[in-house]
Amino acid sequence: MREQLATPHFVDAQPFDPGVSDPGRHEDERFYRASSLALIWWKFRRNRLAVVSAFVLLFFYAMVPFVEVIAPYGQSERNGDFLYAPPQPVHLFHDGEFVGPFVYPYSFTFNKETFTRDYVVDRTAPQRLRFFCQGSPYRFWGLVEMRFRLVCPPEGGTFFLMGTDRLGRDLLSRIIYGARISLVIGLVGIGVSFALGLFFGGVAGYLGGWVDSAIQRLIEILRSLPELPLWLALSAALPANWSPVAVFFGITIILGLLDWPGLARAVRSKLLALREEDFVKAAELMGASRTRIIARHLIPNFMSHLIASATLSIPSMILGETALSFLGLGLRPPVTSWGVLLNEAQNLAAVSLQPWLLWPIVPVVLVVLAFNFVGDGLRDAADPYHE
């Protein structure tokens, strides 16, 4: 016998309940029956910043189909009397009295010493804004002739919330119109790059061997090319006589063509990891066909990760368009995008004398940040099975 320690023999007095069956982790049938989509949503919902950002994005994208209705002026509507007019703030009270949203009209005098226009605000005559009103005419979705707008300038007055540019066009309206191009280009571009990335990454990851090596080398070559000069070269190659719409699609495809390697790599590595999972081997051993394995086992398991990484690369599309247009090589007027608008704020004079021309930066930053936060949230939620 070994020497015994004088340790008391303790037995817990609590009744022992082994349970009917081995216990699961939660006791909630709703959780048990939750599909992975529901689990992802529950996890995403816990990330406040991502949810708020998702609403911001929803707000921006909800505007896209209705820009004509929302903008107070048309896209290229010129107001010859109000070149470089400063922002015209909205007021609610005049002389301590509630009037409702109104603006003070201004008139300009030409300063003969500085050769600039000096705008003088007339604080005596408030002009009330009109809502749900008949404004300048436009063709809604290019089909129906309409005049209905959410906000119109006062009768006989002006409403330049963010000022005007050198041709007297309302900047707010142009930012709203520009959102259409800038936001859509991100989605279309990511669509192109998603398709390419899924195809090349999928082929590389699933087939392996020399196909994989060839695609990997191609990706490395693409990645080693300096991005900006390549964009420049490709956009310069777009014929100058193309219509603005064709240029728009050309630019989108260029952005998509250069962005897919990152996604392809994500797809490939995820596929390689998934292929080693036992459930994929189990399906192979059951005699499942390749198509079935890809469709039932691989794609559902990596799609959420892919959507997360795609979300994270939309901002680079938007920024890419902005950068190209800023340099004058992307979209060209009369097409309006945030980049085109910023192109007009390129000189020092604009920054010092007409700082309101830099307003388009704000939506760019907002949208890019929101996409990043949402993408982060999605990435964290994409695998709901690990805490």
The structure tokens listed for 273 are: 């990891």
Nearest to residue 231, comparing CAs of 206, 207, 208, 258? 258
Nearest to residue 201, comparing CAs of 280, 289, 298, 134? 298
CB of 10 or CB of 115, closer to other proteins: 10
Min separation Cβ 17 and other proteins, Å: 9
Q: Which residues contact 79 (CB under 8 A, 6 or more apart)?
A: 73, 85, 158, 164, 168, 169, 170
Q: How far is CA 175 from CA 27, 89, 100, 306, in A?
A: 52, 17, 25, 31
Q: Which residues contact 116 (CB under 8 A, 6 or more apart)?
A: 84, 110, 353
Interactions with other proteins, residue window 259-288 (CB under 8 A): 277-279, 281-288
Cβ atoms of residues 298 and 274 within 8 Å? yes
Min separation Cβ 42 and other proteins, Å: 10
Min separation Cβ 300 and other proteins, Å: 5
Interactions with other proteins, residue window 13-42 (CB under 8 A): 14, 16, 18-26, 31-36, 39
Min separation Cβ 296 and other proteins, Å: 8
One residue of 45, 46, 166, 217 binding other proteins per CB under 8 A: 46
Q: How far is CA 170 from CA 45, 149, 163, 301, 383, in A?
A: 38, 15, 6, 48, 46
Min separation Cβ 204 and other proteins, Å: 19
- The DSSP bridge pattern shows strands 127-128 and 97-103 to be antiparallel
- Quick check: 124 binds other proteins (CB under 8 A)? no
Rounded to whole angstroms, the Cα distance separating 97 from 99 reads 6
Min separation Cβ 303 and other proteins, Å: 9
Q: Which residues contact 4 (CB under 8 A, 6 or more apart)?
A: none
Tell me how crowded residue 339 is: count the other CB atoms within 10 A of its CB. 28
CB of 166 or CB of 296, closer to other proteins: 296
CB of 21 or CB of 224, closer to other proteins: 21
- Quick check: 209 binds other proteins (CB under 8 A)? no
Size, binding site for other proteins by CB under 8 A: 50
Bond into 334 cis (ω within 30): yes
The DSSP secondary structure of 65-84, one letter per residue, reads GGHHHHSSS-TT---TT-TT
Min separation Cβ 195 and other proteins, Å: 23
CB of 27 or CB of 97, closer to other proteins: 27
Min separation Cβ 217 and other proteins, Å: 16
- Quick check: 113 binds other proteins (CB under 8 A)? no
- Quick check: 1 binds other proteins (CB under 8 A)? yes
Ramachandran bin of 362, using left for φ above 0, alpha for ψ from -120 to 50, beta for the remaining angles: alpha
CB of 11 or CB of 143, closer to other proteins: 11
For residue 131, what are the β-bridge partners?
Answer: 151
Min separation Cβ 7 and other proteins, Å: 5
Q: Which stretch binds other proteins (CB under 8 A): 68-76, 109-117, 242-250, 290-298?
A: 290-298
Interactions with other proteins, residue window 295-314 (CB under 8 A): 296-297, 300-301
Applying CB under 8 A, which residues contact other proteins? 1-5, 7-12, 14, 16, 18-26, 31-36, 39, 46, 277-279, 281-289, 292, 296-297, 300-301, 384-385, 387
